[in-house]
A = this chain, B = another copy of it.
Amino acid sequence: MLTNNAPIYNYMPSEGIEKIHDTTMRVLEEFGIAFNHDEAVDILERAGCQVDRDAIPAPLVKFPREVVMEQIAHAPREFTMYARNPANNVTIGGDHMVLAPVYGPPNVQDLDKGRREATLEDYGNFIKLAQTAPDIRNAGGVVCEPNDQPQETRHLDMMHALLTLSDKTFMGNVVSGENANDCVELAAIVFGGREKLAQTPAMLSLINVNSPRLFDTRMLDSLFTYARARQPLLITPFILAGAMSPVALGGSLVQQNAEALAGIALTQLISPGAPVVYGSFLSNSDMQSGSPAFGTPESAAALLVSAQLARKYNLPFRGGGGLTSSKAPDGQAMWEATMTLWPTFLAGTNFVLHAAGWLESGLASSYEKFVMDIELCRMMQVFRGGIALDAEGLALDAFEEIGPGGYFFGAAHTMRHFRDAFYRPLLADVQNYVRWEQKGSETADVRANRVWKKWLREYEQPPLDPGILEALNEYIVKRKIEIQV
């Protein structure tokens, strides 16, 4: 598992963090958060919140700061997630980083077939890529939308793929409480029953806030289901500043903080001590066009500050990824992805959704960019590893051997270390121009195209007990019939 050696980068001085915290508390106390969910409102009222049930568009809950702070203190600082292959268990929180693929795109894209609606085959392909890439430690959730399957039952198809094509941790469906329950039931089949599953959480689910300041019914139904099943939740305000929050980073961070803490407090009231992650998905709108913009300097700054806030509250943090607004896996795609991945790693982000494959403001999962992003994540992991300053790291014997103007290629120290000394690129081409031209002047996307095909060819399905597979299939068939009646 990836742990951090290079220090965390604290972008904002602590007085700034305290100012954001204080303003957040004012927003929770004075403006409140709306919850479109009676049970949630009841629970929050009993905990000491002030409730206005007639507020539009949904009941408004004002949180005394003591209530929020007391509840979020119940959440664990870090927790373990269990994979059906124990070698793939992961820790969320602390110094650990867990990378997961892109989440949510309705389309896929590759150099051969261009951009198109995603299918279940694509879905399976991205799960296979996530399973194959050792850097990816959570196989993901909606790696793309399998649009060739009926909307009402496709969560079952996705869970089947997640549980059979991969043996890593994964993500649950949040389209409705009923879907969430199916996910829990299916996971329970694999993990030895609901009780066992509650003790060995296996799936993490993404609860988005309908920012500004609104939790909607379906998300809250899912939140209740997963919190009660003790499956971890990412509480993530969905913010494009200027549209879903003020056109200023300070206010946007306050709003995000208020929304995330309110949701986290609710999870702890439902299920004290349940694993939960402070989520950030905060970029800005392009104020000329109103379009979302990714890989911006504002989003980089906001990401670093969001992580500082999560650390202040002793909560695991989710943020960042390889985000971009580009429509092709070109220069823009990669400068924007790198613009986001640097702060992601500098922040010590504990769970990185969208770490690989995101393209087109999240509207397409790109096969090529999946591989390109993996290259970036690998490099950032090496960067986080720090510099050795022991005898071999300082290499004084090499200075003894190689005099002024000499070459170190043949030094004994080089012979001892050249194999592992430096990062070996997956895609980056370092050949000279003539050789590169002779080999077809391939740009990075073309080389990436070869790599993902190779990974799919080399993919090996992890073994699964035939009895479990049969039980999964039975459940899915039964539920498809029930749903489609």
Chain A residues in contact with chain B, CB under 8 A? 6-7, 9-13, 16, 19-20, 23, 26-27, 31, 33-34, 55-58, 60, 115, 210, 212-214, 241-251, 253-255, 284-293, 295-298, 300-302, 305, 325-339, 342, 346, 360-361, 363-364, 372, 375-376, 379-383, 386-390, 392-396, 398-400, 402-409, 411, 413-414, 417-419, 421-425, 427-433, 436-437, 441, 443-445, 448
Given known contacts A57-B405, A291-B432, A297-B423, A399 and B16 CB-to-CB distance under 8 angstroms? no
- Is there an interface contact between B248 and A430, defined as CB atoms closer than 8 Å? no
- Is there an interface contact between A58 and B404, defined as CB atoms closer than 8 Å? yes
Question: How far apart are the CA atoms of A372 and B335 in the complex, in Å?
Answer: 9
- Is there an interface contact between B383 and A246, defined as CB atoms closer than 8 Å? no
Tallying the copies of this chain within the complex gives: 2
- Is there an interface contact between A414 and B247, defined as CB atoms closer than 8 Å? yes
Chain B residues, CB < 8 A from A390 = 250
Chain B residues, CB < 8 A from A382 = 297-298
- Is there an interface contact between B250 and A402, defined as CB atoms closer than 8 Å? no
Chain B residues, CB < 8 A from A6 = 11, 301
Question: How far apart are the CA atoms of A379 and B299 in the complex, in Å?
Answer: 11
Closest partner residue, chain B, to A283 (CB atom): B422
Q: Which of B251, B381, B409, B430 contacts A243 (CB 8 A)?
A: B409
Question: How far apart are the CA atoms of A437 and B57 in the complex, in Å?
Answer: 38
- Is there an interface contact between B335 and A376, defined as CB atoms closer than 8 Å? yes
Given known contacts A250-B388, A387-B305, A408 and B242 CB-to-CB distance under 8 angstroms? yes
Closest partner residue, chain B, to A328 (CB atom): B443
Given known contacts A242-B408, A250-B389, A342-B342, A396 and B330 CB-to-CB distance under 8 angstroms? no
Q: Could you list 6 A-B pairs, sorted by A, with CB under 8 Å? A: A19-B394, A33-B404, A210-B405, A287-B422, A327-B433, A334-B334
